Chain A
Amino acid sequence: MEKLMSDLKTQIIAQLNLQDTKPEDIGDDQPLFIEGLGLDSIDALELIVLLQQQYKIKLSNAEDGPKVFKTVRTMAEYITAHQAQNA
């Protein structure tokens, strides 16, 4: 889980072009949207593509976005759960 969260932080920074942010700046449980990192709806769409590209997981319902992408931890948990299902 730790490695996954660490990888995710690097990937999020790359995907969203957060040039001034380092992985260690993103807390595991820090809110990603509105407050915290302050991401918006376009970033949410970018993260949906990231899930698919890196983890082969398709988020078919965009409305699940806010729950899944709440924090790095919730993202990691979602990925772990779905990878277990696909295995």
Chain B
Amino acid sequence: MLNHNEPVFVAGTGIISAIGNNVAECLDALENGRAGMGPMHYLDSAHRHRLPVAEVKLTNEELAQLTGLPKIKSRSALLSLVAAKEALHQAGIENIKDLRTGFISATSVGGMDKTENFFTEFLPDNSKGKLRDVVNHECGSVTELVADALGIKHYITTISTACSSSANAIFLGARLIRNNIVDVVVAGGTDSMTRFTLNGFNTLMIVDEQFCQPFDENRRGLNLGEGAGYVVLVSDKLAATLKNKPEIILSGYCNANDAYHQTASSPDGVGSYLAMSGALKKAGLQASDIDYINLHGTGTQNNDIAEGTAIKRLFDPHYPKMSSTKTFTGHTLGASGGIEAVFSVLALQHGMIFPNLRLQTPMADLPFVPEREVIKNATLKHVLSNSFGFGGNCSSLIFSKI
């Protein structure tokens, strides 16, 4: 008999982002207010001198050296492998080769970083362009490069739902465990900086030419970021056998749809409200049980008011502490759910609430203000992480300390 309520434990975390190449570096940056956005350095784009971005501070060559993958492979794959490897290492599951292991990854970019270079040669002459640059174009292809490198094959798949992608990947992983399809799963996502996405967001006129200011009354838009974040989830049974007994579970999750517009959120944040309240219901929690919200908080006019309005509707009058860590990492798109899941777990593990940087003027329409300074020695039991994307795809995750 399947137990669809059995606890699913977080046994390991792994991350690479603009603020650090691993968990320890990112935690240190979060604690000390060191944001990762700056002038474009690694990506070659016509917007180089105008748009600040939050890039991972390593070249593809350096990433290749860290991972053992060839440097000609997609940056999305390289970032993914760095973070997934760290998560697995942290989980320290000795008999993993004997277990049913899954890899659920997510991305919006896939191998586009290579494809867009291919196209510059292919377009004028379709017999030109190196095929090796497009052979891993597909999102699923990027996932397989990493799964093969990790030696995982029991269940592999890829999700792409814009900015909620890796949140969806994480709770799919949990459901696969609860449905007795896998014993352990590495779940999360990756996205690398590309001209395609940079220009795409630019056409929507939601990109900030300065460092972004989520949840500020005078916010101007988002800064694009890149990176990867993964968690290792294990079944209750497996958790009991691990040397480092995991203390954190994925207690709640929900995927809802705003069904309002292709890119904009409904003014009242209907999808956001449904995702958050659905996650609470799944976790068997009340709104007042949440100690910290890791906001989606992109810094666009539209997201922040929609998300803020949904929070007001759900949490009033007991507002938990909250912050947008996109003020550090930028908006990492398909990786954001995974990266912010890792941050949520870190918050619980270290009793820390990360600040919402550069918040000068609180939003006039909201009765709460995100935290502007880091808080240490906080007693945190339940953390909510929001990921809301294009296509109305809204997902929320709740992590809890048992």
**Are any A and B Cβ atoms less than 8 Å apart in their complex?**
yes
Whether a CB of chain B sits under 8 angstroms from the CB of A41 is yes
Cβ 8 A contact of A40, one of B204, B205, B261 = B261
Interface status of B285 (Cβ within 8 A of chain A): no
In contact, A62 and B205 (Cβ under 8 angstroms): yes
- B191 → A minimal CB distance (Å): 23
A42 CB-CB contact with B under 8 Å: yes
Residues in A neighbouring B262, C-beta threshold 8 A: 42
Task: Verify A45–B205 contact, CB threshold 8 A.
Answer: yes
| A42 lies within 8 A of B205 (CB) | no
B263 contacts the other chain (CB 8 A): yes
Smallest CB separation, B371 vs chain A (Å): 30
Q: Is the C-beta of B264 less than 8 angstroms from some C-beta in chain A?
A: yes
Count how many chain B residues have C-beta atoms less than 8 Å from C-beta atoms of the other chain. Answer: 7
Interface of A, secondary structure class, is: helix
Per DSSP, chain B at the interface is loop
Q: How far does the alpha carbon of A14 sit from the alpha carbon of B182 in the complex, in Å?
A: 52
Q: Give Cα distance in the complex from A62 to B205, angstroms.
A: 8
B residues near A42, Cβ cutoff 8 Å: 262-263
B-chain residues with CB within 8 Å of residue A49 when the two chains form the complex: 203
Which residues in A have their C-beta under 8 angstroms from that of B264?
A: 41
- Pair B203/A41 contact, Cβ less than 8 Å: no
On chain A, the residues within 8 Å of B203 by CB distance are: 45, 49
List of B residues within 8 angstroms of A62 by Cβ: 205
Say yes or no: B204 contacts A45, CB within 8 Å: yes
Beta-carbon nearest neighbor of B302 in chain A: A41
Q: Which residue of A lies closest to B204 (CB)?
A: A45
Cβ contacts under 8 Å, B261 to chain A:
40-41
- The contact string, 1 if C-beta is below 8 Å from chain B, for chain A 44-67, is 010011000000000000100000
| Complex alpha-carbon distance, A52 and B402, angstroms | 57
Extra 9 A-B pairs, beta carbons < 8 Å, given A41-B263, A45-B205, A62-B205: A40-B261, A41-B261, A41-B264, A42-B262, A42-B263, A45-B203, A45-B204, A48-B205, A49-B203
Closest 4 CB pairs of A and B: A62-B205, A41-B264, A45-B205, A45-B203
Q: List 12 A-B contacts (CB under 8 A).
A: A40-B261, A41-B261, A41-B263, A41-B264, A42-B262, A42-B263, A45-B203, A45-B204, A45-B205, A48-B205, A49-B203, A62-B205
